[in-house]
Amino acid sequence: MSQSRDPGQSAAPTASGGDTTRERILAAAMEEFARHGIAGARVDRIAKLARTSKERVYAYFRGKDALYAAVAAREYVVIAEATQLDPSDLPGYAGRLFDYFVARPDHHRLITWGRLELPGTTAAADDPDQAVIARKIDLLRQVQQAGQLDPAWDPADILALVNQIATTWAAQPELSEAAATHAVDPTTTARRAAVVTAVERLFPRAH
């Protein structure tokens, strides 16, 4: 999901206040895509929420796919900055991911819509989220080489498994609802503890 303007995104206007308008469009698009997905999102609703016109939206972004790509790419960077992967403390990282999506379930929906509706999209070489993933894999490999993480695991597998465990509850809201009724301890704190413990058993903290 690239922010590249070629071919999906047109050149942004350079008039005064353009950046502010663009930010309003991105914020409105974030809300619209999270609620309705890509196919169900409407540019006229985005424009209205952003207090601008459809024509102005299209002056920045050629279409919905390009707008979604910009929103999602920025969100991946925000998640990475908010959760900060420490390769020597993967349980802690999993806990931060859990916290992020518990506080922002709409952000998880935003990402999920892209996976469902744009599964065949090929990432560009300068795609921000791919760059974030590559950096995380490289960090994990460095820690393995330093003897602080089991080298038997492929670092790509480590990242995938930790992310999957950390987002278990965000990805399965029906199970979260069931746990609130049927779990021995129905609290969010208990769900978080289970996530952290599961990652700790697979990838113990370095000592």
Rounded Cα distance between 68 and 97, Å, is 22
pLDDT tens string, the chain, 207 residues long: the values are: 333 333 344 444 444 444 799 999 999 999 999 999 999 999 999 999 999 999 999 999 999 999 999 999 888 888 989 999 999 999 999 999 999 999 999 889 888 888 888 765 545 555 667 888 899 999 999 999 999 999 999 999 999 999 999 999 999 989 989 998 999 999 999 999 999 999 999 999 876
